Structure 1
Amino acid sequence: MAIKDQIMADLKTAMKNKQQDRLRVLRSLKAKLLEREISERKEGEASLSDEQAIEVLMKAAKQRKESIEQFQEGGRDDLVASEKKELEIINSYLPEMLSEEEVREVARQKIEQLGARDMSDMGKVMGAMMQELKGKAEGSLVSKVVKEELS
């Protein structure tokens, strides 16, 4: 089942079961997916691929993570807990992300394959890495690993 379809089905279930927190997050995701679908629309064609849906979900997860950091700095533990619950729901729709060690292995292969030697080659390596790991790893992790490997 496509990610968007799964979210829509779970939205209905959350409504029936009166799961207010889950319902709020799923409605938010539905809105973001519809927004992306409209922006991608071409000549009446209006369906998102799973890859595009994953991009939307990863962006939503990243926003939650940033909010958690900000709320922790501000001492707002109540909001931290709320954001963590939302992040957990969003992550349930994302595929398993690669670990740092797996990303590091791919980075080493790409650096060798591209013949990169130092930080001046970072853009070239990052472009190739992000193309290969799109939807499988966060960009911040990939960037960190590539910097470490090129240093």
Structure 2
Amino acid sequence: MSLEQKIMTELKAAMIAKNEGALRSLRAIKAAILLAKTSEGSKGDLTEDDETKLLQKLVKQRRDSLDIFLQQNRPDLAEKEKEELEVIEKFLPKQLSPEELKAEVAAIIASTGASSPADMGKVMGVATKQLAGKADGKAISALVKELLAK
């Protein structure tokens, strides 16, 4: 079942349940899928990798907005972003725990032969490909910096 079909199924269930937060989130995902499918240069269908990138982009947008709303003391808007974030994250692959992420990044550093912070670009290139959808880019970057600084 493609992401679009899952979204439509969930959208119908949310309409029946009158769940406003889920409806907002699901409609945002549906709109993003339609935009991606109809944008210039697209083939019409999204691959699973494209779908994951699209969802990650939506999650990042929600997290950034959530941070801004919390800084500006707007709990009402922050709550809406939190609701949407939870719904969108349901469709992403299971995220790695901090321990699993550290083990993965350490293995990548060992395989690339990186030894200093100057090698960060080499490590990040491999890490972002291998861990796509499984971990946040900021978390990967921070961990790579920390491990290479040792």
Q: TM-score, normalised by structure 2?
A: 0.92
Contact 1:37–1:48 (CA<8 Å) still a contact in 2? yes
The one-letter amino acid paired with 1:122 is M
Q: Residue in 2 aligned with 1:71?
A: 69
Give the 5 Å matches for 1:2-151: 2-39=2-39, 40-42=41-43, 46-151=44-149
d(CA) in 1 for partners of 2:64, 2:143 = 20
d(CA) in 1 for partners of 2:33, 2:124 = 27
d(CA) in 1 for partners of 2:107, 2:4 = 34
Could you tell me how far 1:65 is from its partner in structure 2?
0.9
RMSD of Structure 2 on Structure 1 (CA): 1.4
CA displacement, residues 62-95 of structure 1 (integer Å, 9 cap, x when unaligned): 1111111111111111111111111111111111
Could you tell me how far 1:9 is from its partner in structure 2?
1.5
What's the % identity of the aligned pairs? 41
d(CA) in 1 for partners of 2:99, 2:115 = 20
d(CA) in 2 for partners of 1:38, 1:101 = 40
Contact 1:110–1:128 (CA<8 Å) still a contact in 2? yes
Structure 2 residues without counterparts, runs of 5 or longer: none
Contact 1:100–1:145 (CA<8 Å) still a contact in 2? no
Matched residue pairs, number? 148
The one-letter amino acid paired with 1:88 is E
Q: In structure 1, the residue corresponding to 2:144 is in which secondary structure?
A: helix
Q: Which moves more between the two structures, 20-29 or 82-91?
A: 20-29
Q: In structure 1, the residue corresponding to 2:95 is in which secondary structure?
A: coil
Could you tell me how far 1:38 is from its partner in structure 2?
2.2
Runs of 4+ in 1 over 4 A off after TM superposition: none
